[in-house]
Structure 1
Amino acid sequence: MIPPWRRLVFYGCIASAQLQFPSLLDATIDDLRGGLDAGAFSSVDLVNAYIGRISDASSLNAVTELNPKALEIAAEVDRERAQGKVRGPLHGIPILIKNNIASVENNNTAGSLALLGATSRDAFVVTRLRAAGAVILGKAGLSQWANFRSSNSSNGWSAHGGQVYGAYVQNQDPSGSSSGCGVAAALGLAAVCIGTETDGSIASPAQRNGVVGIKPSVGLTSRDLVIPISEHQDTIGPLAATVKSAAYVLQAIAGQDPNDNYTSAIPNSIPTLPDYVAACQEDALSDARLGVPSNVLELFLEFDASRQVEVDAFTSALDTMRRAGAEVVENTNFTELNAWANSSAEGVVLRADFVTNLASYLSKLTSNPNNITSLADVSRFTKTVAPGPEEFPSRNTATWDQALDPQSGFGNTDPRFFPFLQENLFLGGEGGLLGALERHQLDAIVLPTSFAPGFAAIVGAPLVTLPLGFYPANTPRVMNRRGNLVDTAPNVPFGLSFLGRRFDEAKLIGFAFAFEQLTKVRGTVKPFLIPATEIRRGDL
């Protein structure tokens, strides 16, 4: 195949080389690597193009801050390339990071004015990206505090960053909490975006913006200097236009870090982690044994019958997998599904972890202008120091109020915490995802993405989501709980997820890649707003 950055155009009997740069809406890391390696364009050209695209799509608020040193960093990696030093496949590739992951050139606020101006060193995953030669382009918008503040806010809203809007429908709910990352990946505002997930915060915005999301096992990627919710469920992963592009980034950021002891559980430490890029094989579904927990489909449809569109597309997808050589095993049910549906354990675990883990993060700041040292300080700031900009009480603090309640709130060192954690591990283990995988000797569980994240979240298991379809033209327009964003409507995307055992990312990536190559759903419907700026060589 002729690379997209170069074609031979014939004029009569004369052949002349004409550069045709990849459209950044769909450009993969392989496309960009090819152009950079061939000298068709530079990293500086790429950064300028992405900055232009971010400006083109500024009405969607996907990007909160640009890195003021992005062009300087790009020029440096271009000089390295010119000298024959290429650090790897991400050398010169611009990447956005969610605004709860620390980088020295930008604010790191979780969308709160309470942390505006606070500083720290780079997060471990940012250090890894820089070491790989990537250019940190800026910070992507998110649901404030990673959707861990209000019971009545909207996905993608932050006091620091504004309201992020989805890519496919005007005023679309972008889903959360990695809202800006989903939109940025959908519109080609960076090559890849790094998000975080506690329960659904990579998977959900990825599916609602028609892109790929990899939610790694807890402990595969370090949470060092990432504003936390829960040490037991938080994880860091990529959102990208394609499975392979996401795999490149996961390869760069995975690995052990002494500042996050959960990473010591990685079975194979660097440099012998699985090759996630090599896992992208078109025949990966051949001989795969995939389980479908039918009781999960029934439960979610009972709760929300409008998801039948997603289930119908999912059923067709299972036939595609069978034709690719997979064995699809029906009724691999989660034995404690009803107990899971009625359990409050996850909420208790998250609130207790947040009280403890947030204080730990805040203690590591090198400057802290508002002297925020605890969740109680954050709550006080939000309610009394900046209630107008923080939109309190219109957007309440119900989650914090529960966590700080003197009777029922406690940190994760309190003896009351342990039974709730054990309940979580049982409901997601023997009674849920991990039990089903073992009982039926499965390689993975497959589910519509709308139904999937919670089962992986409570046991720290991995999930890979990719595009499955779009809501059809006759879909009723439904608003979100706050009434300010479109939740479902014609052209809103939805996805399919592969879930597996802890540290089984390579296997799931292979399944997702094979399905992606068979279906190529992305691109069949275009975003409602497409940035006009494309790559232009600086010397042209």
Structure 2
Amino acid sequence: MNNTAGSYALVGAKAPSDSTIAKKLREAGAIILGKTNPSEWGSFRIPWDSSNGWSAYGGQTYGAFYPHQDPSGSSSGSAVAASERMDTIGPITKTVKDSAYVLQSIVGTDVYDNYTSTIPDNVDKDFVGACKLTALKGARLGVPRNVISLMSDNTTDSMIAAFNNTLDILRSAGASVIDTDFPAAQDFLNDTLLALQIMSADFVVNIESYLKQLTHNPHNISTLLELRAWTRQSPLESYPAKSTGVWDFALENWDNTTPEFWQAYQKGLYYDVEGGLLGTIKRHGLDAVVLPSKFSWYFAAVAGAPVVSIPMGAMGDEQPVLVDPDGLVGSAPGIPFGFSFLGEKWGDAKIVGLAYAMEQRTRVRGEVKPVVRPWTELGDVVGRK
């Protein structure tokens, strides 16, 4: 299949082999039918105030729950376009147990990814076995109240109400819910350039490494500088209406081999370790931290910590809110929101179990109805016996 990152620059390019993840899925019996349309280059070309889910090659992806709904970055496919220190691969499935089966198939070391060599030998990898209704009994769950206060606005009222109601369900299942704070949350949210600096430094190096691996490179692009030049001159890439602002920043910044990068990365670790998620888990002896999903990913990404999100409800009477110049709707009645469990490093199986136990008690997914429904079933594509 084409691996384009949504760009015409890679249409027709050939990678030397399947990724380790795709290889493991095939070996487990999975059938890969197609690919999503990501935000171009994993949301890493156009500045953050532009459209989620847009790519030159694939067009605009929309969410299914409101006309012109913002699909968010991960949900439009960018979750599969990882850069080195801020992202990882993970499944998006209908149920927690479906995710557990996928994780069971792909977990382990990867000779092409040195980070996986640090997985402890004794880490719990039985994700399917973790899916027990009793998983919440005795669990200690922290709620960083200052994060919720700092990130709430007039579009999150129904989300916060549903979150607080869900905490009662956790308590009734035998969990202890402890109010906590992330000490550095305010500084982290104010430090708006830090994540961009870290990802930019990785991207400059990582994209060059990826392009060198291609067995067929249709435009002989080998660096980010060359990729930017090709994108700007191509009539297919919608430049300058869709800018290259993130790449401009990356090329003016340092790469991930410099002392400046290491200082920025250490600062990020402080925000998510001593000042954030991992430090809070350790100080309070927690099994996990819980947050509305909209607020959760910031605080796990730099720390390299796992997150599981499950459906919690849908927006109520909030007025539709446009989130970008192209008219994508970020908040509106009926748009679903989630509840997230954030764990310590290598604690994936534990939070999968916690999420499963909650999912079985709430069963929210079937209550939220999309306005767009598929008109093609799998049987129409692959045939029926």
Pick the TM interval, shorter chain.
over 0.9
Q: Tell me, yes or no, if structure 1 residue 124 matches structure 2 residue 15.
A: no
Are the counterparts in 1 of residues 82 and 88 from structure 2 also a CA contact under 8 Å?
A: no
Q: 2:70 aligns to what?
A: 173
Is 1:376 the counterpart of 2:225 in the alignment? yes
* 2:50 maps to 1:153: yes
Say whether the 8 Å CA contact 2:293–2:338 is kept in structure 1.
yes
Cα 1:232–1:275, aligned 2, differ >3 Å: closer, same or farther?
A: same
Map 1:31-430 → 2, pairs under 5 A? 106-120=1-15, 121-151=17-47, 152-180=49-77, 195-196=79-80, 228-229=82-83, 231-268=84-121, 274-301=125-152, 304-330=153-179, 332-343=180-191, 344-384=193-233, 386=234, 388-405=235-252, 409-430=253-274
Asked if 1 retains the 8 angstrom alpha-carbon contact of 2:155 and 2:318, the reply is: no
SS in 2 for 1:531: coil
- Gapped regions of structure 1 (runs ≥ 5): 1-105, 182-194, 197-226
Structure 2 partner of 1:53? none
**Higher mean C-alpha deviation, range 528-537 or range 339-348:** 528-537
* One-letter amino acid of the counterpart of residue 444, structure 1: A
Give the CA deviation at 1:539.
Answer: 6.5
Partner of 1:449: 293
Residue-pair matches, total = 380
Matches of 2:24 and 2:132, distance apart in 1: 26
CA distance in 2, matches of 1:538, 1:156: 30
Structure ranking higher on relative contact order (CA contacts 8 Å, 6+ apart): 2
Rounded to whole Å, the distance in 1 between the matches of 2:127 and 2:82 is 26
For each residue in 1:14-48, what CA deviation from the matched residue of structure 2 results, as whole angstroms up to 9, or x when unmatched? xxxxxxxxxxxxxxxxxxxxxxxxxxxxxxxxxxx
Q: Please state how far the C-alpha of 1:180 moved relative to its aligned partner.
A: 4.6
The letter for the 1-side match of 2:186 is N
Going from structure 1 to structure 2, the CA distance change for 1:533 and 1:342 (only over 3 Å counts) comes to closer
Higher mean C-alpha deviation, range 143-152 or range 488-497: 143-152
> Is the 1:479–1:488 contact (alpha carbons within 8 Å) kept by the matching residues of 2?
yes
Shift of 1:395: 1.2
The residue type equivalent to 2:114 in the other structure is N
Comparing both structures, which one devotes a greater share of its residues to strand?
Answer: 1
For normalisation by structure 2, the TM-score amounts to: 0.95
3-state SS, counterpart of residue 90 of structure 2: strand
AA in 1 matched with 2:56: A
8 A Cα contact 1:141 1:178, kept in partner: no
Give distance in 2, aligned partners of 1:378 and 1:475. Answer: 41
SS state at 1:465 partner = strand
Q: Note the alpha carbon deviations across 1:368-410, whole angstroms, 9 max, x for none.
A: 01111111111111111x1x321111111111111112xxx12
**Percent of residue pairs bearing the same amino acid type:** 48
Give the whole-Å Cα distance in 2 for the aligned partners of 1:238 and 1:538.
26
More helix per residue: 2
Alignment partner, residue 92 of structure 1 = none
- 1:538 to partner: Cα distance: 5.3
User: RMSD value over aligned CA atoms?
Assistant: 1.7
AA matched with 1:315: N
Distance 1:449 1:538, change over 3 A: closer
Higher CA-based Rg = 1
| Cα separation, 1, equivalents of 2:301 and 2:248 | 23
Q: Does the Cα contact within 8 Å between 1:115 and 1:368 map onto a contact in 2?
A: yes
Three-state SS of the structure 2 residue aligned to 1:328 is strand
